[in-house]
Amino acid sequence: MIKILLTYPNLPLMMSPAMSMGLFNAIAKRMGCEVKLFETTQYSEQYNNRHIRMTEIGASRQNKKEELEDMFWIKDPKDIIPDFIECVEDFNPDLILMSVQEDVWKMASQLLDSISNKNIPHIVGGVFPTNAPDIVINHPSVNVLARHEGEITVTDAITAIKEKTNFDHIKGLWIKSPNGDIKKNAPQQLCDINKTLPDYGCFKGIRWRRPMGGKVFERAVSMETYRGCPYNCTYCNSPRTRTLAKDFNIGNFMRRKSAEQVEKELLIYKDLYDPDLIMFQDDSFLARPEKEVFEFCEMWSKYKIPFWFNTRIENCKPAYLSALKEAGVYRMTFGVESGNEEYRRKVLKRQASNDRYYEYFNYINESNIPYSLNVILGMPFETRQMVIDTADMVHRARGYDGLTIGMFQPYWGTELRTMAVKAGFLDNAYINSGGYMDKWAIDMPEPYLQEDELDKLLRTFALYAHFGPEMHSVIQESETDDKLYKKLFAQYQEEFFGDVQEGGMDRVNRFCPTHDATSTYKFIEVKSL
């Protein structure tokens, strides 16, 4: 029996079973292979600097190290390489399949380096190899790289191993010969996303746990209803994925599943896993025809399994929200990214006006569906005032009960990265590593943000967003006054984080008993400092 080792370098405690691994597991098992998974999710020092950082800036509920260790069985990161070598030696795979994002490329390359003497056939694919193939294939320990989607390519590779032939004929692969020559095969055609259902059975039970909204779900399952994204946001590499598919004439990357297909997959998951949360991995869940939104909600209403998705604020029509609530939606997440309208339109290519955002925040709050917001600080050409503009927009939302504050990272394949390089803010050789809270990559001249200024704003952003303009002068003072900052932060934690999830008008009314019709909410009372 052919043995396939799935290898998934992952940032510590980035939970939920990975869809790519689930897909490759399903394909390999269907083809009669024995499959094993090695992943790095639980290897974490001090439960990961990212999580500490997110807690310190008020962007997540506070978790004690002991609580996380009890929840996730945290392992020592110094054991990653020895454990991987042991896994490879014990399992003796015929093929290693590795999926790599840019954040973990350094770790992925170290894993491959550790077994380079064993000459095991391998394929390295994923977002980073697709967007930066020359970097990946030129690494000494990488001999085979896959670009674009992997479903058909993996099938062809397993067939080749079964038939004892080489990979030279397989579309989608770049193959490096012993003398260093690189053979770039023609791109693989895109797959039918209805044909293969991920099999998450390779993941240990602990990986199914997902903290969300103040609750820990025990059986959180990832699902896909939409592959691709119609938008052109410059901080995201999804637009380039769509463009590459068009340029190489391999098909339309944007594909959606019907409500009937989603129901069919859900029923399988119910039988296999009995999920208590479904996490839709679509780039923008509501970016679909109105008819399909209502068909999904009608179908899902029969089951009412709690679900989460990411989408855009301006897609949340009141009728959608009502139907989603009836269907059993648990939470939603929206990317605000920047509250400066001119910057958002001209640089980020997000065209909705601030007024439209505020209008739709009203709709979302009135629905009382809990939701969280994402923002990015430190983007190219951003100034301090633009960061404050973002905080003011978040403040006016008022109904959110979760906030993710990310530091800009110039990922390969994004237009914003190209802008930063052209402006002289970034070395073109830069590769992100360690996640989006560890290091600021760009270096801009004044009047744009400086590193020390950004660090202060990252630490105080949640305060600006929570307390609002009336407190700006005090919060700015706290940027350099640690005692004052701790007082403000303690008040923020007390008021913002509750024991249960609470979103929409429930949260607005908790903080703001009175508000005007345009949703310009004012913080009514600030406790004595």
- 461 and 375 in contact (C-beta within 8 Å)? yes
- 364 and 504 in contact (C-beta within 8 Å)? yes
Distance from chain centroid for Cα 387: 22
List the strands of the sheet with 182-184, edge to edge.
34-39, 3-8, 95-99, 122-125, 144-146, 173-176, 182-184
Give residue 529's pLDDT band: very low, low, confident or very high (50, 70, 90). very low
The predicted-structure confidence for 506-519, as pLDDT tens digits, reads as follows 888 876 644 443 43
Average pLDDT over the chain, rounded to whole? 90
d(CA 214, CA 87): 35
End-to-end CA distance of the chain: 69
d(CA 252, CA 254): 5
Burial of 181 (0-12, 13-18, 19+ CB in 10 A): exposed
Q: Give, for 374, the enclosing helix (H) or strand (E).
A: strand 371-377
Query: Considering just the CA atoms, what is the radius of gyration of the chain in Å?
Result: 23
pLDDT given for residue 503 in this prediction: 83
More confident residue, 236 or 500: 236
pLDDT surpassing 60 at residue 48: no
Give residue 437's pLDDT band: very low, low, confident or very high (50, 70, 90). low
Enumerate the H helices of 406-481 as residue ranges. 415-422, 451-467, 472-478
The predicted-structure confidence for 267-291, as pLDDT tens digits, reads as follows 999 999 999 999 999 999 999 999 9
CA-CA distances (angstroms) from residue 10 to 32, 41, 126, 411, 461?
A: 27, 5, 12, 16, 28
CATH class of 209-511: alpha beta
Name which of 397, 393, 402, 394 is nearest 519 in CA terms: 397
Tokens of 67: 């609580």
> Which sequence spans correspond to the domains of the chain?
3-184, 209-511
Tokens of 297: 């909600």
64-68, 247-251, 398-402: least confidently modelled range: 64-68
Average pLDDT over residues 321-326: 98
d(CA 211, CA 160): 41
Tokens of 453: 């200024």
CATH class of 3-184: alpha beta
d(CA 463, CA 468): 8
pLDDT given for residue 215 in this prediction: 83
pLDDT surpassing 80 at residue 54: no
Residues 6 or more apart whose Cβ sits within 8 Å of residue 470: 522, 523, 526
Going by the DSSP 8-state scheme, the letter that residue 301 receives in this structure is T
d(CA 336, CA 353): 12
71-75, 197-201, 409-413: least confidently modelled range: 71-75
Angle between helices 105-114 and 80-91 (to 10 degrees): 50
pLDDT surpassing 50 at residue 22: yes
d(CA 366, CA 321): 9
Distance from chain centroid for Cα 220: 15
d(CA 455, CA 449): 10
Give residue 409's pLDDT band: very low, low, confident or very high (50, 70, 90). very high
Task: Count Cβ atoms below 10 Å from residue 251 Cβ, excluding itself.
Answer: 17
d(CA 168, CA 190): 19
pLDDT given for residue 426 in this prediction: 97
Work out whether strand 173-176 and strand 144-146 pair parallel, antiparallel, or are unpaired: antiparallel
Provide the whole-model pTM: 0.92
pLDDT surpassing 70 at residue 235: yes
d(CA 166, CA 176): 12
E strand residue ranges, 32-187? 34-39, 95-99, 122-125, 144-146, 173-176, 182-184
